[in-house]
Structure 1
Amino acid sequence: MSRVAVTGLGVMAPHGDEPGSLFEALLRGESALAPIFPELPKPAAAATVAFDESRWFTKLQLAGVDRVSQLAVAAADLAMRDAGIRGDVDPERIGVYTGCGMGGATALDAAYRGNGRVPPLTIPAFMPNAPASHVAIRQGVQGPVLTYSVACASSAVAIAEAAKAVQRDEVDVAIAGGSEALIVPGVVLAWQAMQTLASFVPGEEATAIRPFATDRNGFALGEGAAFLILESADRARQRGARIYATLDGWGHGCDATHLTKPDAHGQARALRQALRQAGLRPRDVGYCNAHGTATRIGDVVERDALAEVWGDDLGELRVSSTKALHGHLLGAAGALEAVVTVLALHRRQLPPNGHRGEVDPACSLNLVPQAGADAPQVEAAISNSFAFGGTNAVLLFGRA
């Protein structure tokens, strides 16, 4: 069975729309977080995308297309261009596998806050499968077009399912990733009510998210889209494609314990599945892009899960949560962080764990320092996505 190759990357992210520039900004520790909605009773911050929709849509095409779908269309198109795929694949042999947690939040918020008239295209604008459908329409995809809505694990699950389809020869090319655009007042208020968003002194938004730190107190929302092009390594070599990395293993399952409280044993099961499928031992994996939401409970549970699997080798695993810099993209988080993990392997550099300050003793890990780190010996890396609902997803990438 051929390995699964990553041959294209596309992003519409808070740090821009070019994967290399995004990665370099993360290496520099640049935060994309900024204040939003000053009218809200409590200060809020988020990482938003500077997006020019006119690059991708005419005014007529924009009717009924929510921002979440606009970002998806753009990121997927950039990924296909990066992979060098231009009309030379049977459209029935291409699939779209997209993660989206909340769908068209902008359309739904506008409907709730309107003047009594609900726009007639509200339903197709906010349905969670709209991003995948718009990507398929733009790319002419006639194969499977599937959406996975599993909260924060959505796009990581989508990428794993896309890899399975490639391995099983169900598709020649998979456009796999996710999109989320939920920076609207109602959604922010809802997350604030859950007390999961970080509090901060106005003016300190950029450094408000501190994964694994003693003084961490939550995350900030982000928006964006990210897609990977997956195809068999054999096919990629035959067409002379650049291979960024290979997707060698994945694991996902459910805690089956609590809707919002994570479970270390459930996360450890997903980690073991990914290692087993890749045929690797824990010590063979040199970097982990952690879920790392900077919540009081979540960071400790993730550390305990890593310790359960890595054991005495935990100190050899370099760890960072890039959510400190680009925010938490919820349904698109796994895809954006997968792109970052792939680039870490491809470039042999590790992005920092931002703003950590003093590390919580309960979160003792080998965290990548603020200056980032070179990683000439890292041959495999994992990206963790652990979701509300108890779904845990782990992607394991290897150097090409």
Structure 2
Amino acid sequence: MTDRSVRRYLTPVCATAIAAGVVLSGAPASAATTTTPFTAQCRAAALLTVDKAAQHAFTVDAPARVEPGETFTYRIQPAPSAFPDKESIATTTNVSRMKMDYQLPDNATFVGAQVVSGTGINLTGTAANVLQINENGDPDPAGTILRLSGDNEVIGNSPKADKKSAAGITAEKTKTYLDGSPTADGSTWFQLPAIDVTLTAGAGGEITPRLRTTGAASNLGDEGNYNTFLALAVALGGNQWAPTRCVPKDTKEDSAPLNRGGGPLATIAVGEQTGNVTATEVTAPETAKSGEQVSLSATVAPAPNGGNVAFLVDNVVVGEAPVVDGTATFTYKFDRGGEHKVAARYIGNGTFRPSLSADATVTVEGGGSGSAIGSVELPSLGSLQLPFGS
């Protein structure tokens, strides 16, 4: 963990993750939650070409174990996002043609996938859907990629590609948070929806949901990068379009290896589950003041040899911390008054099984009322500076 504070807004645009949190409602039964934050390198091109690191995160709700031949469903969703009112000399307008590409897991037969109703927030344009596509981005019943998009209206790797027109899944400027309340800085928050993926398990072993990162999609700037979108701003008397592509790497060099975002986002055991059973307990202050840092902690027993704890506020994963001698600690700032539920989930590490704590209630004074993601101390949100000029 670093000491850099995560802000509730994004100074430049990042259309995938601005907080290591994700809203998941009605998750599949008997699911274990795994949140994977990682650094993404994003490349945008308009008046200039800019490479910028950003912090992305995905949450997967999936059964920890299934039987060979069992048909099951897991749910996956990126973290919420925001774009600013202004960037440099440009006034932002919207972000459109958004897509997320997921690799179909090995050791399983694809049954179907669908968007989870009610999990997208502040989105307009073409309704989000899930398509099974091939490496060229064409719908294909034999394809190995699942694409969340607005009917394949994206910036590239699609028969409906365009880099100079708004289409597909769009977030228009609203200057609001996810709950509809106005933002102090004029930024606009939105949430791409979750998708449910149904598979039939193969033989014993593992099933590992992943992002699309194989082949050319592992190279920064490729149209097949797992996350692409089209930002629009008005500058210098006209529209400035910034098609943007992101890949999970710690540095921008093509030779740089993929980081944890290129690996499993969850692990589903096929066959007998192994590992030590754990119990997780969360500790939080009974009261807090809006805008002030509070310490949250979680105790995992028996003490595991590694692994992370994800902390949740009002059912939103707000970040992770490593387990050291059975304990994980995390610093958080509540931005809104009222009662808030805090929980902790040990993610597991293969030797020790995941476990979820009961909720603790924190009463927060000041800062208005209502739910909000809040501010947390975890690795920097990162940002993508759009090249609209300076």
Same fold? TM cut 0.5: no
TM-score by length of 1: 0.29
TM-score by length of 2: 0.30
Report which of the two has the higher share of helix.
1
